[in-house]
Amino acid sequence: MSNIIDQSYLDDITSNAVSKKNIFGTVICVEKGDGSLSLISNAGNLTADQPFFIASVTKLYVTAVLLKLRTENQLQLEDKISSYLSDDILHKLHVYRGVDYSKEITIKHLMSNTSGIPDYFSANAVSELTAGKDQKWGFDKTITHAKRKKPKFVPGKKAQYSDTNFQLLGKIIEIITKKDINTVFKEHIFNELNLVKTYLYEDVNDSRPAPLFFKDKELHLPVYMSSIGPEGGIVSTAEETMIFLKAFFSGCFFPKEAFNELKSWKLLFGPGLFYYGTGIASQPISLLELKDGLIGHWGQSGSYAFYHPKTDLYFSGTVNQFFGHRIAAKLMMKIIKIHKK
Residue 121 confidence class, pLDDT cut points 50, 70, 90: confident
Number of domains in the chain: 1
- Over residues 258-265, the mean pLDDT reads 92
Instruction: Determine the pLDDT at residue 1.
Output: 39
Could you report the per-residue pLDDT of 269-323, keeping only the tens digit for each? 877 789 999 999 999 987 666 667 999 999 999 999 999 999 999 999 999 999 8
- Asked whether residue 92 is assigned to any structural domain, the reply reads yes
Sequence-distant (≥ 6) Cβ neighbours of residue 145 within 8 angstroms: 120
- Residue 290: the pLDDT is 66
Give the CATH number, domain containing residue 265.
Answer: 3.40.710.10
Please indicate, yes or no, if residue 157 is contained in any of the structural domains.
yes
- Closest by CA to 274, choosing from 146, 161, 109, is 161
pLDDT at 209: 98
Is the residue at 318 inside a domain? yes
In this prediction the pTM is: 0.96
Residue 225 has pLDDT above 90, yes or no: yes
Which domain does 270 fall in, by range? 7-340
- Going by pLDDT thresholds of 50, 70 and 90, the confidence category of residue 324 is confident
Tell me what pLDDT residue 269 has: 83
136 assigned to some structural domain: yes
pLDDT value at position 280? 97
Give the pLDDT confidence score for residue 14 in this predicted structure. 97
Q: What pLDDT score does 107 carry?
A: 98
Would you say residue 17 has pLDDT above 90?
A: yes
Flag whether 2 is in a domain. Answer: no
Whether 1 maps to a domain, the answer reads: no
Model pLDDT, residue 4:
75
On the CB side of 284, CA atoms within 13 Å amount to 15
> Within a domain: residue 31?
yes
Is residue 197 included in any domain, yes or no? Answer: yes
Q: Which residue has the higher pLDDT, 305 or 120?
A: 305
